Amino acid sequence: MKLYYAPGACSLASHIALVESGEDYDKVKVDLKTHETEDGADFYAISPRGYVPAIDTDDIGLLTENPAVLTYLADHYGAAPSGGRRYKLLEWLGFIGTEIHGGFGPLFGGAEGDKAEAAKQAVAGKFALAAELMGDADWLLGEAPGVADNYLFVTTLWADKFGVELPAKLADFRARNMAREAVNKAMSEEGLG
């Protein structure tokens, strides 16, 4: 298994899952500005979509798109929910990917002034909804953190970066994740403080 990643990008969610699996994996850093890998290869030649995460798997070759990559990792490392909860996993991955991650698009794209303010407010509203949907639970699905938690966690780091207001529930959620061994290991492997 090989993970293509960029430090602090959404690929960190997959990286955490790989660390947590305890299995061996390789990782290749991608410069998202030049779309070159750390060994000088053209990333578009490896993955025509040009973004991370991408994983090189033994059975189905290259796989991209967070919901697919995270579900694959959860399935292969025994952490995927089954039965009806599987649909809840897909529901969360869809919401986090399109509504929250997607909501950061203008901010990553360099929006300023009113446009940035509008984007921050919109994404703060999505975080508020996520917190409401979590209710009293510590994790999105069940008793332990899983791939959807990893993904939501990464977006809470972006909230800090761009000054997006987080509800107290998600600030606690972020702190709870920061205490996870796999999170610390993956972040330190990516050179994040």
Ligand X SMILES: N[C@@H](CCC(=O)N[C@@H](CS)C(=O)NCC(=O)O)C(=O)O
- Choose the stretch contacting ligand X; rule: CB under 6 A; options: 44-52, 80-88, 159-167, 168-176: 44-52
Tell me: does residue 65 bind ligand X (CB under 6 A): yes
Tell me: does residue 66 bind ligand X (CB under 6 A): yes
d(CA 132, CA 53): 28
Query: What tokens appear for 29 in the block?
Result: 């850093």
Kindly tell me which residue out of 7, 50, 142, 167 binds ligand X, with binding defined by CB under 6 A.
Answer: 50
Tell me: does residue 103 bind ligand X (CB under 6 A): no
Contact 18, 185 (CB under 8 A): no
User: Which CB atom, from 5 or from 169, has the smaller least distance to ligand X?
Assistant: 5
In the complex, minimum distance from the CB of residue 136 to ligand X, in angstroms, rounded to a whole number: 29
User: Which CB atom, from 156 or from 169, has the smaller least distance to ligand X?
Assistant: 156
Residues 2-31 that bind ligand X (CB under 6 A): 9-10
User: Which CB atom, from 51 or from 127, has the smaller least distance to ligand X?
Assistant: 51
d(CA 26, CA 72): 16
Residue type for position 61: G
Write the CB contacts of 64 (distance below 8 Å, at least 6 apart in sequence): 47, 49, 51, 53, 54
Tell me, letter by letter, the H, E, C secondary structure of 79-129: CCCCCHHHHHHHHHHHHHHHHHHHHCHHHHCCCCHHHHHHHHHHHHHHHHH
Kindly tell me which residue out of 7, 21, 28, 32 binds ligand X, with binding defined by CB under 6 A.
Answer: 32
Closest CA to 10 of 85, 125, 108: 108
Size of the site for ligand X (CB under 6 A): 10
Tell me: does residue 150 bind ligand X (CB under 6 A): no
- Choose the stretch contacting ligand X; rule: CB under 6 A; options: 59-67, 122-130, 136-144, 174-182: 59-67
Residue with tokens 């997006």: 164
User: Which CB atom, from 169 or from 177, has the smaller least distance to ligand X?
Assistant: 177
d(CA 170, CA 84): 25
- Choose the stretch contacting ligand X; rule: CB under 6 A; options: 48-56, 83-91, 118-126, 128-136: 48-56
Residues 82-101 that bind ligand X (CB under 6 A): 97
Give the binding site for ligand X (CB under 6 A).
Answer: 9-10, 32, 50-52, 64-66, 97
